[in-house]
Amino acid sequence: MINVLFSAKEHNWQQYKDVIPAACRQLDLDVCLGRDLAEADVDYIVYAPNKSLTDFTPFTHCKAVLSLWAGVETIAPNPTLTQPLCRLVDPGLEQGMVEWVTGHVLRHHLGIDKHIAPTDHSWTPEPAPLARSRRVTILGLGALGAACAKALAGLGFQVAGWSRSPKQIEGVTCHSGDQGLHDALANTDILVLLLPLTPATTDIINERTLAIMPAGSVIINPGRGALIDDAALLSALDAGHISHATLDVFRVEPLPQNDPYWHHPKVTVTPHIASETRPETAAERIAENIRRGEAGEPFLNLVDRTRGY
């Protein structure tokens, strides 16, 4: 019997209490999934941050902590967490992100807002250029960023991407390092932020990097709110240097009613809906990592503590 502690909020338990055991049975794993297991008996922890578990020291036989989230910036720094930590890379979340990002890139590319907003019944045909004339840059080429880059390249956009370490993606111009970031930002019309949040990426979009971007650029952020220096972005929007920002994530959520983003004419706010983890497909990844742990195989999506993701 493999003992799996489920440590997350009540609504998460209701989502996963049946699908994780079902996914494990598909892999012939005999699993006991529970919320109140003896610490010394726990083999794996399925985890989302919660007040009931902040100290991992007693789990001396735990082989891995399996996050329910793709982002682990609030988990990885915990000094008591010495067990391997795995991010959740869920096929359902990935597909949802591709659809959301593609939709908003096309919205800005086609100028859809301009055509549906007029109230004066003006007739001003201004067809958009073809996708091959539009430069889209994605900061962050992990599983989500790479999937979005491939989808946009498939539509014919000029797609570039930037990541901390060098990557190769067919149909995508890949950059890395400080000079690569400069080049990626300097040659974009639409910028998509899908970086993990680390000390190195916090406020990566700031007064200096915004100034590198061409005048009239658009920013789309479904990644992490703290990737953007909010004051710097608002200033760039007010000055007309950035033509629009579509933001799905924020430093404080829900976004306070008095936040200037709500009222800015060049900002679209969406309520953190870019993508959602799907319990059925997420459970399959959790079960696969348990199988790998039992077989002595490398875990999927193991977090590098030195990088924070």
The answer to whether residues 83 and 43 touch, using CB atoms and an 8 Å cutoff, is: no
Rounded Cα distance, 70 and 228, in Å: 19
- Report d(CA 307, CA 293) in Å as an integer: 23
Active site includes 224? yes
Amino acid type, 202: T
Q: Of the residues 272, 291, 292, 305, which is catalytic? A: 272
> Which pair of structure tokens corresponds to residue 251?
């430093």
Q: Could you tell me if 64 and 299 are in contact, meaning their C-beta atoms sit under 8 angstroms apart?
A: yes
* Sequence-ordered alpha helix ranges (H) in the chain: 10-16, 19-26, 91-110, 112-116, 143-154, 177-186, 207-212, 230-238, 260-263, 279-295
> What whole-number distance in Å separates Cα of residue 280 and Cα of residue 267?
34
Which of 104, 134, 224, 285 does the annotation list as catalytic? 224
Active site residue ranges: 224, 272
